Structure formats: structure tokens, C-alpha cells
Structure 1
Amino acid sequence: MAHMGASSGFNSSAKPCLAVSPFALAVMAATAPSAAQIAALVAVVKQLFATSFIGFSIATTLYGISCLQAYLYYRNYPKDHLLLKSTVALLWVLDTLCTIFVAHSLYTYFVLNFGKNPTVDLVIPWSFTTEKFLVTLITFVAQLFYARTIWKSSENWIITGSVTVIAVVTFALGIVTTVHLYQTPLATSISARSFQILSGLVQGFAAFNDVLITVCLCFWLYQQKRGAVGGRAFGTDQILDTLILYAVSRGILTAITQFLFLTLNLALPHATYWMPFHQAVGKLYVNSVYATLNVRSTFSNVDNKQSTNLSFADVPGINTTTSATGVTSSNTASVPSDKRAKPVVLPTTHESIERSHSALEEKEAGDDV
């Protein structure tokens, strides 16, 4: 009976071990962690999985939108300047590579490396570091695009130069952080104080540049609104108001994302709550550039739907151009050169110009009667 009792006691103590997963058995056999250590490990894995899953879900959704916008751009503007078409293609390639590298890093974390000794410092996959660099490159290309837009609109060297210099500094600091992660691909590198400062400067400069770009574009558009003669009669005020609202929305969205990325990264260096914002920010830049180019057709459609309006070519101080047809028209003769606003470059079609002029002639004929 005593032997049976001993045997029974042995069996009762063995049953809990049978319920433990092979991964946990391997961990306990190697290091014999305590229950608190296992609980802490599970919490870290759950947090990493949750933030990565949320970020990747948002990122892939934005990637799908950017693919659609790229398709619409090439369909609607086949004769745009080669520089613009190359920029769209470059951003799409970089965005696609970012999506691939994020998927690879997640697969490495949760499949290939899952079950390895968790006491060893978590190694950062090369794909994560490469994706981080590509996000920095996307930010650089997008901000240079807006610097060019500011220059084409205002021909102000000071503002354009400031935006460009900040973009270059941001890109350079991003390269430094990337090289650091390649040299020391450990999770503790991200939470190190020196890396936190460099990374914070990258996000801080990028957010500041977004705000600067937004303020400059809004100021220029407001000046256009004040300088457009006859704008109220032809609906130009409404278009410029829409452009101002769009510029503000674009700048605020990317700036807030960069700011949240910066804040969470500095406030919680050992957590991964910054991950969704990191995965989304590059794709927000791509979509903002695409939307800026594709919004031109929207204003052409608005112009066509107004029965009594004129084309933008009939509004003094505003040019309308289209790359698809090569049509460029303007009317600035009635405005003194010293008071003439810089042209707003918006696309239209040859048919819209003809319909607008026909509508104007019919209106003038009706007035004569």
C-alpha cells in the first residue's frame, strides 16, 4: 500500500508536466525559469505580437490604397513629366519592398525564431532594419516632392531651401540609425539612450518639416485666393478652400503620426507601442504624394460640371495644364504684373476648355439679348 501510495504520489506530480508544451519544457530544461519569468516572457511576446499585427494590418490596407492610386495616376496622366512618373514608380517600389520586409521580419520573429532560448537578447532581423531605412528614404523623397511643389508655386529660395535642408538632415540621421542597427542588431539597441536620441531627432525633424510644408502651402494658397481676380464669380474660391483643407489634412496626418511615433518611442523605450505608427508613416507619405497628383482630375471634373463657370484658364493669374494632351492655357493680361499671383498648376482636358469657352460664349450671347 505504501508502494502504491508512493507510486500514486509520483503519478500525481507527473500529470502537470504532461500538460506543459514542448517549448516550455525545453526552456525549463535549459534554464529552469521561474513562473514570474515565464509570465513576463508571455507578456512581452503578446505585446510584440499585438502591436505588430495591428501595425501590419494598417500598413497592408494603406498599401492597397497606394496601389490603387498609382494605377489611377498612370491611367489618368500618361503624358505627365518623366520626373513625376519616375517619382510615382520609385515610391511604389519602395512601398512594396517595405511591405515585403515587414512580412519577412514578422515571419522570422513568430515562426523561424519562435521556441528558441528566450533568455538570449532578441535579435533584430535584417529585414526590419532594411524596412526602417526604406521608410526614411520614402520620407525623404516625399518631402523633396513637396519642396519642389513649394518652389514651383512660390519661387521662394529661402522656404524651399529650408524644407530641403531639413529633409536632408532627417535622411542623414536615419542612415546613422540604420547603420547602428546593422552593426548591433539587438533589441536592447533600440532601447539604448543614444539610439533613442538619434531616432527622436529623425521623427522630430520629419514632423517639423511636415508642419513647415503645410504652413507654406496654406499660406501660398491663401495668397492665391486673395490675388485671383474674379475668383468668386468662377468658383475659384471654393477650389482654393478645398486645396487649403487638403494641404492641412495631409500635413497634420503625417505630422501627428511622426509625433506619436516619437512620443511612444521615448516614453516607453522597452515597449513596442510605437510599431503601428512606424509601419504606417511611410505609407501615409506615399499616399499623400499620390493623392496630391491624382486630385487634379477632381478639380477638372468640378470644372466640367459647373454650367456657367469658366475653365481655370479664364481666371486671371491661374494656369491650367494637362500632361495628357499637352494643353497649356492662361489669362493674365488683365492683371498688373506686380499684383499677379503665382499660377496654380491644375490639370484639365482640351474638351473641358472647349466646353468652358462655349458656355461662356452662350452666356455672353444671352446677356446681349
Structure 2
Amino acid sequence: MSSGVFNVALDSTIGALQIGSSFAIFLFGIVSLQAYLYYDAFPEDSWKYKVLVAAVWILELGHTVGISYEVYHASITLYGKPNELVTFPALGAVISLSGAITLLVQGYFSLRLYRVLPKPYKYIGVFCFLLSAIRCVGSIYLTFPAATARNVSQYNKDWRWLVTSLLVVGTAIDIIIAGSMSWYLAKQRGKGFLRVSTVIDRLIGFTIRSGLLTGVSAIVLLICFLTMPDNLVWLALYTFLAKLYSNSLYSALNARQSLREEVSNSFPSMDRYSRPKNPRRDGNASSRFGPHAISIEMKTTTETTPDDSISKAFPDKYGMTP
């Protein structure tokens, strides 16, 4: 590095950025599809869920626009001028949007932990939410220096400690959430019938996969950021990290349909108390069962602890607001 210019290897700068952005746009398509499927399958969900899904999608749209602008700036505006590829004016906005998306997703799963785990373990959810909020503040703090940086490599050197801290904290939150939920479900697994254990195994697998994907991606991003500061491989990975979080949230919401069907198949007696499989045809569950629908279900499930553990892990699945 000298005089604010570095020797550019196009395959690890513009090429890496274009590959990362292409994958990010592909993931945004999946995010949009998942959002559509959610609104189509769960029109009777709480307005809080609907606002959450809409907010994440709008943030993802802005995130995708910012990434697309950076690719256009690097490959079109600076075409034939690779040595000027040292600034990324939209990077600050992308960092802030990514932090907000991560906060919403991790906040959702943290709230689930708080409502599922018994005391004193339920406060793990509060701890995770506070860490995620601090992480979001750190991301917003990085916005201005990222947008005004004259050299991305110098930005890496000046703010490496904070970027590293944010990535480590985000990974730790994912591991804590996935580990805590898996621990709780595993404790319930041996308390019931084989069919209940099969459903719980599915929940454990889904929980681990959701946290593992984002956690491993953040670790790979951190390694690239620390070991390859003079190219854009780390930025290419960063372009789609937030979309992995969004997909994990939408997958968790949309997976309720298949999980509800599996629970109903394992316990046929619960069919008449679960929400209708086709709410548009059968109407709203609360209007069918009245204000005491939840209390009726609780009476039928308190006889077996595993049923209650499943409804706690996915309380909205039975028409109860988490």
C-alpha cells in the first residue's frame, strides 16, 4: 500500500464482489419468496409478526440496492480504472442495514428463548437481545467512517478491532441461541413417547441448522477480513451475510405449517384444537373455538410434558401469540 493506492488483482476485488453480489441477489429472491409464502399461509398471524416480516424485507431491499450500487460503481463507473477501486460510498448504509436486520432476527429468537426456558435460564434470552442491540449500535457507529473512508484497506486497519468484535459477538449470539434451545428440547426428548421424540429431533435439527449457517458464515467472513485486508473477498461475503439471517427467520416462521402437521399426525386427538390447515377456507381459528380455545388445548396437553415443550418452543403454531 502506498499513496492510497494498492496493486489490484481483479479476480479478488471486482470479481469477488460481483460473485458475492450475485449470490446476495439470489438470496434476496429467496427472501422475497419466503415472505410471500408467509403472508399466503398465515394471514391470521399476529400483526406483530406481519410487521416484523415486512420490516425485514424492506431492509433487505435497501441492502440489496446498496450492494448493487457498489457493484455498478466498481465495474462500470470505475471501468478501466482499477487503481481507483479504493472507496465504497454505499458501504456505510449497507453496514447499518445489515446491523438492523441482524437485530430483528436475533431479537426474535432471543424472545423465543425468554418465553421457552424456565427460570433462571430464561434470562439467557435477555442477555442475547442486549448483546444484539449493542452489536447493532456498533454497526451504526461504523456507518460514517465507512461512507467517508478514502481507502478501504486503511478503513480495515483503523476499525479492525470493532469489526472483529461485532463479528465475534454475532457468532456468539447465534451459538448461544441455538445451543440453549437445543438443550431445552433435548431435555424434553426423553420424557415422552417415541413419536414425540421424533418431532423434537426435527426441532433440534432445525434449530442447529439455523444457527450453524449464520455462525459459520460469520466465522469465514472474519477469517477473510483478518487475513486478506487488501482485497474484497471479505466484502463479497459480507454482501449476503444479512440475507442468511433473514432466511433463517422466514424459515422458522414458515416451518410451523409442516411441524403442525407432523404434531397432528403424532397426536390425532389434538387435530380439533390446532389451527386450521387452510385458514382462508376454514376461517379464523379464534372465531371457531372462541376465547377459550387456548385454555382447552392446554388442558389436553398438560398430561404429557413433551407436547407442552413443543408448544412452548413454537407457541404460535397452536394459535398462541409468543
Alpha carbons of structure 1 residues 311 and 62: separation in structure 2 relative to 1, 3 Å: farther
Question: What corresponds to 1:218 in structure 2?
Answer: 182
Specify every segment of 5 or more residues in structure 1 that has no aligned partner in the other structure, as ranges: 1-37, 350-369
Give, in whole Å, the separation in 2 of the partners of 1:171 and 1:203. Answer: 11
Which is further off, 159-168 or 243-252? Answer: 159-168
Question: What corresponds to 1:205 in structure 2?
Answer: 169
Question: What corresponds to 1:76 in structure 2?
Answer: 41
Query: Where in structure 2 are the equivalents of 1:315-326 lying within 5 Å?
Result: 324-326=284-286
Query: Where in structure 2 are the equivalents of 1:11-160 lying within 5 Å?
Result: 41=7, 43-116=8-81, 118=83, 122-125=86-89, 127-154=90-117, 156-160=121-125
Partner residue of 2:214 out of 241, 248, 254: 254
The residue identity in structure 1 corresponding to 2:54 is A
Alpha carbons of structure 1 residues 85 and 153: separation in structure 2 relative to 1, 3 Å: same
Give, in whole Å, the separation in 2 of the partners of 1:172 and 1:161. Answer: 17
Question: What corresponds to 1:8 in structure 2?
Answer: none
Q: CA RMSD in A?
A: 2.7
Partner residue of 2:142 out of 171, 177, 193: 177
Q: Normalising by the residue count of structure 2, what TM-score does the alignment of the two structures yield?
A: 0.82
The answer to whether structure 1 residue 294 and structure 2 residue 254 are counterparts is yes
The residue identity in structure 2 corresponding to 1:290 is Y
Give, in whole Å, the separation in 1 of the partners of 2:238 and 2:82. Answer: 27
What displacement does 1:332 show? Answer: 4.1
Q: String of CA shifts for 1:206-244, please: whole Å, max 9, x gaps.
A: 0011000001110121223234x4x32xx2211110010
Give, in whole Å, the separation in 2 of the partners of 1:334 and 1:145. Answer: 29
Contact 1:139 1:285 survives alignment (8 Å)? yes
The residue identity in structure 1 corresponding to 2:173 is N
Q: String of CA shifts for 1:60-83, please: whole Å, max 9, x gaps.
A: 111111111101100111111111
Among all aligned residue pairs of Structure 1 and Structure 2, give the percentage whose two residues are the same amino acid: 20
Partner residue of 1:347 out of 311, 317, 322: 317
Partner residue of 1:264 out of 224, 228, 252: 224
Q: String of CA shifts for 1:10-51, please: whole Å, max 9, x gaps.
A: xxxxxxxxxxxxxxxxxxxxxxxxxxxx9x74x433321221
Alpha carbons of structure 1 residues 333 and 285: separation in structure 2 relative to 1, 3 Å: closer
Contact 2:14 2:232 survives alignment (8 Å)? no
SS at match of 2:88: coil
SS at match of 1:75: helix
The residue identity in structure 1 corresponding to 2:92 is T
Give, in whole Å, the separation in 1 of the partners of 2:217 and 2:260. Answer: 31
SS at match of 2:317: coil
SS at match of 1:274: helix
SS at match of 1:123: coil
Give, in whole Å, the separation in 2 of the partners of 1:236 and 1:346. Answer: 18
Contact 2:101 2:245 survives alignment (8 Å)? yes
Q: String of CA shifts for 1:248-272, please: whole Å, max 9, x gaps.
A: 1111110000111111101111122
What displacement does 1:111 show? Answer: 1.1
SS at match of 2:136: helix
The residue identity in structure 2 corresponding to 1:92 is W
Give, in whole Å, the separation in 1 of the partners of 2:14 and 2:258. Answer: 40
Question: What corresponds to 1:167 in structure 2?
Answer: 132
Question: What corresponds to 1:35 in structure 2?
Answer: none
Give, in whole Å, the separation in 1 of the partners of 2:260 and 2:94. Answer: 37
Give, in whole Å, the separation in 1 of the partners of 2:263 and 2:113. Answer: 24
Q: String of CA shifts for 1:245-303, please: whole Å, max 9, x gaps.
A: 01111111100001111111011111222123211210000000000000010123334
Question: Computing the radius of gyration over CA atoms, which structure comes out larger, 1 or 2?
Answer: 1
Contact 1:296 1:347 survives alignment (8 Å)? yes
Give, in whole Å, the separation in 1 of the partners of 2:215 and 2:270. Answer: 32
Q: String of CA shifts for 1:288-343, please: whole Å, max 9, x gaps.
A: 00000000101233345x4x7425579xxxx956795235423245369xxx7573
Partner residue of 2:233 out of 273, 276, 283: 273
Give, in whole Å, the separation in 1 of the partners of 2:260 and 2:86. Answer: 53
Give, in whole Å, the separation in 2 of the partners of 1:89 and 1:255. Answer: 24
Give, in whole Å, the separation in 2 of the partners of 1:89 and 1:253. Answer: 23
Question: What corresponds to 1:334 in structure 2?
Answer: 303
Contact 2:21 2:71 survives alignment (8 Å)? no
Specify every segment of 5 or more residues in structure 2 that has no aligned partner in the other structure, as ranges: 287-292
Give, in whole Å, the separation in 2 of the partners of 1:255 and 1:333. Answer: 36
Give, in whole Å, the separation in 2 of the partners of 1:172 and 1:280. Answer: 20
Which is further off, 281-290 or 179-188? Answer: 179-188
